[in-house]
Amino acid sequence: MVTWSRTDPAGAVGGSRVMEVACDESGADGENLTTGNTDVSAHGSVRMPVEVASAHLQEIRNRIRSPAEEYKANILLREKHRAVLAWLLGADGPIHGHAHVHLTEKPFFVVDRVVALLTDRGPDTARTLHREGPRSFGSERWREFLESANNLLRTRRSPEAVESPVDPFFHAVDALLLMPSPEPVGEILELLARARSRADSYRARIAESPELFPVLNPLMPAIVHTAAHWRREGLPVALVHDRQNLLTDERIAWIEERAQLAGLRLVVAREDPRVLLADFLAGTARKIASDELNGQGDAELTELLRPYVGVSSVWGDESSWAALGPKARRIRPL
């Protein structure tokens, strides 16, 4: 069991000092990243003692004064509780310097993953395609391409699906190639069009082992990035995470190895006040970031969120990232 003090952010596990960080996510649609309920997912993490987090939750209850038994992020997003949200995220608030959020712009994540899988090109290439695609081909054609890419990459398919997703994806690519586009976009599409063998190989691997790492689900890479953020403190990191069906024993083992974790355990969110605070951060961050992405940003809330946003967030839209992207900051000692 991890023990804490107000002055030491690390607990003692088996005689070794380990930083325990609590996490939750918001905006999960599984592998449906193009027609789901949200266009942004957020993975929040909080580092503080359990008893301190519990006191902060009580303060939130005292300020909101709602009869609800279980508080979730949506209650903080109500206009009448805006002052409470501003306090929570503000520089003098309880989680400032003790929390972090990893954002994922879902449509860009799809483009990034399909480019990486089929071309070996990096995020810069994906970002070029993501930014220029809608301008070059129009929203409808671009949406068809995104949906076909989503279907190509997802490991789980609907029971009604009878056609392989490989053909529709390459038909969508060919349709875009017939239209005029700037030279970088055309070059990227040509690379995708020549990658049929890679796509077939990928689908064959899924058929043989459907429990493979799901390349299209943002949660697992978000956890890895979260661990990397907290490791900068120089201590081994253990994560406490809200229960997720995706996090099977095999995938937890993969995350622990990939993220160099001292451990990852799943809990019921309402039983750990730190996880509830992480839920508040993830849920409010998802809404604030989505509004910014869609040109409906609230300048005050965006600026309040900015200190929490991780530099490794998966984001392709230029203008919204200029507002959301992190500034240099220091993690506050407890």
Q: Which residues of the chain have pLDDT under 70?
A: 1-16, 68-69, 157-162, 210-213, 328-334
Residue 167's alpha-carbon distances to 22, 113, 149, 177, in angstroms, are 42, 18, 11, 15
Residue 209, pLDDT score: 76
The three-class DSSP label of residue 103 is: strand
pLDDT in tens, 2-61: 323 223 344 544 446 899 999 999 998 889 999 989 999 999 999 999 999 999 999 999
pLDDT digits 0-9 by tens, 306-331 = 999 999 999 999 999 999 998 744 44
Kindly report the pTM of this predicted structure: 0.91
Residues sharing a CB contact under 8 Å with residue 285, sequence separation 6 or more, in sequence order:
26, 42, 44, 101, 103, 305, 308, 309
Nearest to 18 by CA among 237, 288, 174: 237
Helix orientation angle between 166-177 and 183-193, rounded to the nearest 10 degrees: 150
Cα angle 54-38-40, degrees, rounded to a multiple of 5: 70
* Domain map (residue ranges) of the chain: 10-104+215-324, 106-208
State which fold the 10-104+215-324 domain adopts. Answer: Nucleotidyltransferase; domain 5 (3.30.420)
> DSSP string spanning 20-63?
EEEEEEE---TT--SSSS-SEEEEEEE-S-HHHHHHHHHHHHHH
How much is the pLDDT for 210? 65
